[in-house]
């Protein structure tokens, strides 16, 4: 063997290993995999013959137990969710445009509810349309194509509240043993509290909900039911919350409910301030999002004066902040696996304070047409890199 000097690093860095590709073998393997029994539905006769060997009473009891568990609530939340998810995917049609229509719970004076429509094709084409449900007036229009983004936004619209979601920066989390860099995006929703206690003229209250995969406009643009399922499955505190029924244009539907509560990924703050400070609220919300801090609610004094940037800002700015509870409920159609709604309800000492809800109205698979994602057709303007973030302040 030749003697090598100490430049082994250099040898490895500059090495061009062989490709030695085997395209015919690759094609054969692909064919075998796609034609494997994994994807073939078993003919009923063969299934019958196979299971006829199993003791029928044993099988019958087993199936009965599964049904009973599902109906009596003994099946775990995760098992239920996975079952619904697999039901949902059975409706998928590949190589089509996935269309979703949803409605935000917030209403805008004289305009009513805001609806959002989403068209998604493959991994890199998304179109989001935000408009008033009654008048059909367009408030916002967004197209994402690969790394390009095109946007039109009605800056004067009061529906701007629904585009206030700010995407948090990448967060680095460390503990004592490992250093991990997580690429989690957090967003905020700012929801007005409607019934402010009497005796507080000129005082406004809002609830700031900070969550991963927010359901504001920009959160919705990068999300879809598949991602929502994935997020729920990754929630360590996911709980089954029973059933509900809904009667709409599609008839009476049975819904399964899943909950997650205040956690690292979902938290809410009650913010009280004089209405003259409205313009400063956005800065406070940004600081809350950036730090995802913990507030300690103490009677008479909600702020730790040696605290974080957001706490200091709130103290100087005349804002009162209190950490409150939030429960997010996702309702899923039991028969189709389609997501019916996502509700984020904030509570203060058990009393409901504010609610933000996204109701899914329609879901379809459409034939692809390039015009669906044509920014020129809708006269949208291209955004600069990094400009794709929520703008505006709560109204």
Distance CA 386, CA 149 (A): 10
13 binds another protein (CB under 8 A): yes
**Residue 199: CB atoms within 10 Å:** 6
Closer CB to another protein, 180 or 301, in the complex: 180
Q: Alpha-carbon torsion 317, 319, 322, 326, what sign?
A: negative
90 binds another protein (CB under 8 A): yes
Q: CB 318 → another protein: shortest distance, Å?
A: 39
Considering only the stretches 20-28, 158-166, 300-308, 340-348, report the one whose residues sit in contact with another protein under the rule CB under 8 A.
20-28
Q: CB 145 → another protein: shortest distance, Å?
A: 13
Closer CB to another protein, 106 or 213, in the complex: 213
Which listed residue (178, 245, 249, 379) binds another protein by CB under 8 A? Answer: 178
Considering only the stretches 25-33, 298-306, 319-327, 349-357, report the one whose residues sit in contact with another protein under the rule CB under 8 A.
25-33
Q: Alpha-carbon torsion 355, 356, 361, 365, what sign?
A: negative
Interface map 330-359 toward another protein (x if CB under 8 A): ------------------------------
Considering only the stretches 159-167, 191-199, 230-238, 296-304, report the one whose residues sit in contact with another protein under the rule CB under 8 A.
230-238
Distance CA 321, CA 316 (A): 12
Q: CB 237 → another protein: shortest distance, Å?
A: 16
**Residue 14: CB atoms within 10 Å:** 8
Considering only the stretches 33-41, 103-111, 358-366, 383-391, report the one whose residues sit in contact with another protein under the rule CB under 8 A.
33-41
Q: Are 239 and 318 in contact (CB under 8 A)?
A: no
Which listed residue (87, 105, 133, 222) binds another protein by CB under 8 A? Answer: 222
Considering only the stretches 116-124, 154-162, 212-220, 297-305, report the one whose residues sit in contact with another protein under the rule CB under 8 A.
116-124
Closer CB to another protein, 55 or 91, in the complex: 91
Considering only the stretches 15-23, 241-249, 334-342, 387-395, report the one whose residues sit in contact with another protein under the rule CB under 8 A.
15-23
Q: Which two tokens stand for residue 290?
A: 């950036």
The values of phi and psi at residue 168, to 5°, are: -70, 155
Among candidate residues 139, 151, 130, the one with its CA nearest the CA of residue 383: 151
**Helix spans in the chain (H):** 8-14, 23-34, 44-52, 56-72, 77-89, 217-221, 225-233, 278-291, 309-317
181 binds another protein (CB under 8 A): yes
The values of phi and psi at residue 45, to 5°, are: -65, -45
34 binds another protein (CB under 8 A): yes
Which listed residue (46, 58, 94, 136) binds another protein by CB under 8 A? Answer: 94
Which listed residue (20, 56, 58, 198) binds another protein by CB under 8 A? Answer: 20
Among candidate residues 250, 217, 215, the one with its CA nearest the CA of residue 232: 215
N-term to C-term CA, the chain: 76
Q: String of b and e for 318-328 (b: at least 16 CB within 10 Å)?
A: ebebbbbebbb
174 binds another protein (CB under 8 A): no
Q: Where in 59-88 is the site for another protein (CB under 8 A)?
A: 85-86
How many residues are given for the chain?
395
Q: Which are the contacts of 337, defined by CB distance < 8 A and separation ≥ 6?
A: 84, 85, 86, 87, 88, 89, 90, 91
Which listed residue (45, 53, 58, 123) binds another protein by CB under 8 A? Answer: 123
- Residues in contact with another protein, counted by CB under 8 A, come to a total of 55
385 binds another protein (CB under 8 A): no
**Residue 103: CB atoms within 10 Å:** 17
Which listed residue (48, 62, 92, 365) binds another protein by CB under 8 A? Answer: 92
Distance CA 295, CA 307 (A): 9
3 binds another protein (CB under 8 A): yes
Positions that interact with another protein (CB under 8 A): 1, 3-4, 6, 8-9, 11-13, 15-26, 28-30, 32-36, 38-39, 85-86, 89-90, 92, 94-95, 122-124, 178-183, 222, 224, 226-227, 229-230, 233-234
């Amino acid at each position: 063997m030749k003697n090598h000097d100490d430049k082994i690093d250099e040898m490895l860095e500059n090495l061009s290993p062989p490709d030695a590709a085997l395209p015919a073998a690759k094609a054969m393997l692909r064919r075998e995999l796609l034609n494997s029994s994994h994807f073939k539905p078993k003919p009923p006769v063969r299934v019958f013959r196979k299971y006829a060997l199993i003791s029928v009473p044993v099988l019958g009891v087993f199936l009965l137990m599964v049904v009973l568990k599902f109906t009596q609530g003994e099946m775990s939340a995760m098992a239920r969710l996975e079952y619904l998810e697999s039901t949902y995917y059975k409706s998928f049609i590949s190589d089509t445009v996935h269309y979703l229509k949803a409605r935000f719970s917030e209403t805008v004076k004289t305009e009513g509810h805001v609806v959002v429509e989403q068209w998604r094709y493959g991994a890199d084409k998304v179109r989001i349309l935000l408009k008033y449900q009654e008048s059909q007036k367009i408030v916002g229009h967004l197209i994402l194509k690969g790394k390009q983004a095109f946007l039109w936004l009605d800056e004067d619209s009061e529906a701007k509240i629904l585009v206030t979601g700010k995407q948090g920066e990448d967060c680095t989390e460390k503990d004592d043993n490992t250093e991990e860099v997580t690429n989690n995006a957090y967003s905020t929703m700012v929801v007005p509290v409607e019934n402010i206690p009497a005796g507080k003229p000129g005082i406004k209250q809002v609830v700031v909900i900070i969550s991963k995969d927010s359901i504001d406009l920009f959160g919705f643009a990068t999300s879809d039911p598949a991602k929502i399922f994935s997020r729920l499955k990754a929630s360590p505190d996911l709980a089954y919350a029973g059933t509900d029924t809904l009667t709409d244009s599609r008839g009476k539907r049975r819904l399964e409910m899943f909950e997650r509560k205040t956690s690292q990924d979902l938290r809410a703050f009650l913010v009280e301030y004089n209405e003259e400070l409205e313009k400063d609220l956005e800065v406070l919300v940004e600081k809350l999002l950036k730090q995802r801090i913990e507030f300690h609610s103490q009677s008479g004094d909600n702020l730790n004066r040696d605290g974080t940037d957001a706490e200091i800002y709130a103290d100087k700015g005349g804002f009162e902040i209190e950490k409150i509870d939030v429960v997010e409920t996702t309702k899923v159609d039991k028969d189709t696996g389609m997501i019916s709604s996502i509700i984020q309800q904030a509570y203060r000492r058990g009393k409901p304070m504010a609610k933000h809800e996204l109701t899914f109205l329609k879901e379809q698979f459409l034939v692809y047409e390039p015009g669906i994602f044509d920014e020129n057709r809708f006269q949208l303007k291209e955004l600069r890199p990094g400009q794709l973030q929520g703008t505006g302040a709560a109204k």
